[in-house]
Amino acid sequence: MSHRILLLGAPGAGKGTQSAKLADEYGVEHVTTGDALRANKEMETEYGTPKSFMDAGELVPDPVVNEIVQAALDDADGFVLDGYPRNLDQAEYLSEITDLDAVILLDVDEEVLVDRLTGRRVCDDCGANYHVDFQPPEEAGVCDECGGELIQREDDTEETARERIQVFYDNTEPVVDHFRDEGVLVEVDGEATPDEVFDRISDVVES
C-alpha cells in the first residue's frame, strides 16, 4: 500500500529528519517544495517558469508552486510531503488534488525549537548538518565528513529563529485549522528522541 503523508511542524520540529525516515521506511518519495521547484524549474505554467522567479530573487507565486507540487505528487507512488502547504490557499488546493492518508503535526514547545535551531551547525564545505547538543561532531567545529569548518547560519541565530517560528505560526495556523476541520489532523509530541518520535508517527500512519 502506498502511503500519502503530510508532515507539518515549525522550524526545528524535526520534519526533515522524520520525513526522510518515513520515506525510507515505507518506500515512498520525500517531496519538499524546494526540491520540487529545483527539479522542475524549467516547467512552463501559465504564470511562467519557476526559474524566472528564482533567478529574479522573487518568491515563486502560489499557482506556480501548486502546479509543481502536483506534478511531483503525480509522479510519486506514495509520498511524504514536507514544507507544503504553507498557507490556507495551498492547503485547500492540496485537498482538491489528493486524498491524504495521514496529516501529522509535530508539536514542540517554542523554547525547545529555539534551542534546536540555535544549536545547529553546518559544514561550510559539504553542507553536512550537526547540532552542538544532539549530534555533535567528533571534533568541535570540524566536519566529520570532510574536515571543513562548521558554522552557524545567519538564520540560526536566536533572533532569526524566533522570527521564523512566528512566521510559521502566523502562516500555518490556518493550514492546521483547515486539516483539523476536515477531521484528519493528528498531533504528535515531537519532544522526544528522533526514534521515539518516529515510532509515534508510524503508529499514526499505520492506524
Question: Active-site residues: which are they?
Answer: 15, 86, 120, 153, 164
Give the position of cell 520540529: 13
Cell of 123: 559544514
Coil vs helix vs strand at 203:
helix
Q: Is 49 annotated as a binding residue?
A: no
Q: Is 121 annotated as a binding residue?
A: no
Q: Is 14 annotated as a binding residue?
A: yes
Q: Is 57 annotated as a binding residue?
A: no
Q: Is 32 annotated as a binding residue?
A: no
The strand pair at 79-82 and 29-32 is best described as parallel
Give the CA radius of gyration of the chain: 18
- Per DSSP, the residues of 60-88 read PPHHHHHHHHHHHHHH-SSEEEES---SH
Q: Is 116 annotated as a binding residue?
A: no
Q: Binding site: what residues are annotated?
A: 12-17, 33, 38, 58-60, 83-86, 90, 120, 123, 126, 143, 146, 153, 164, 192
Q: Binding site for Zn(2+): what residues are annotated?
A: 123, 126, 143, 146
Q: Binding site for AMP: what residues are annotated?
A: 33, 38, 58-60, 83-86, 90, 153, 164
